[in-house]
A and B are shown apart, each in its own frame.
Chain A
Amino acid sequence: SYELTQPPSVSVSPGQTARITCSGDALPHQDAYWYQQKPGQAPVLVIYKDTERPSEIPERFSGSSSGTIVTLTISGVQAEDEADYYCQSADSTGTQGLFGGGTKLTVL
């Protein structure tokens, strides 16, 4: 079955840039979405349609897409960005949604 693959963990120091990737064969044809989830809380949308940022999300969050890989970039990482991040998209038919396995971002 179709999968979205994310690295289990990424670690960066405060002020550095964190990049979290999500790979999937259908990503060139399907929009991707990114969510931030902190412990005990519901997820929060941080990027939609590969590169768009909701107005309430800080500018340091950005998204990009290249072929079968989409990337969430957090520039100037802050301690408050420590969380789990999930990508979400659809299969090639667009009728089945799925999430990546999630990436734990640790701010050292």
Chain B
Amino acid sequence: QVQLVQSGAEVKKPGASVKVSCKTSGYTFTSYDISWVRQATGQGLEWMGWMNPNSGNTVYAQKLQGRVTMTRNTSINTAYMEVSSLTSEDTAVYYCARGLGFLAVAGGVDYWGQGTLVTVSS
């Protein structure tokens, strides 16, 4: 069965960086795009960006350009998302999610990771 398993919760100080991993299984990693979505407590969903695991091509939300980097390691079917220069505004649950197979930026997603809580606090 398709699974996306994310790394554990993180606590970071303002100005630091955080890297979240998303280990996939149950499907061909390079055939489906990966999106990252975050959600602050009590708030809505925020689209962060998209990656084609086959080519490594990425598209980032304009709001996060310059602070977010999405990468992958195809040998271990794992995607990564790193956010730098953290502020309290980045405190949120971060999700990775598998695309529907259309390889379209901002296309829908069907399987989600369990979420990773990132807390930014001094």
Q: List residues of A whose CB falls within 8 A of some B CB.
A: 1, 30-31, 33, 35, 37, 42-43, 45, 48-49, 54, 84, 86, 88-90, 94-102
Query: Which stretch (B10-18, B19-27, B77-85, B111-119) binds chain A?
Result: B111-119
Number of A-B contacts (CB under 8 A): 67
Residues of chain A contacted by B2 (CB below 8 angstroms) = none
Partner of B47, one of A31, A88, A94: A88
21 contacts between A and B (CB under 8 A): A33-B107, A33-B109, A42-B114, A45-B109, A45-B110, A48-B108, A48-B110, A84-B44, A88-B45, A88-B108, A90-B105, A90-B106, A96-B47, A96-B59, A96-B62, A96-B106, A97-B35, A97-B106, A99-B46, A99-B47, A101-B44
Output the least CB separation between B37 and chain A (Å): 8
* Candidate in B104, B105, B107 with the most chain A CB atoms within 10 angstroms: B107
Closest to A35 in B: B45
Known contacts A86-B44, A99-B45, A102-B45; decide if A42 and B115 are in contact (CB<8 Å). yes
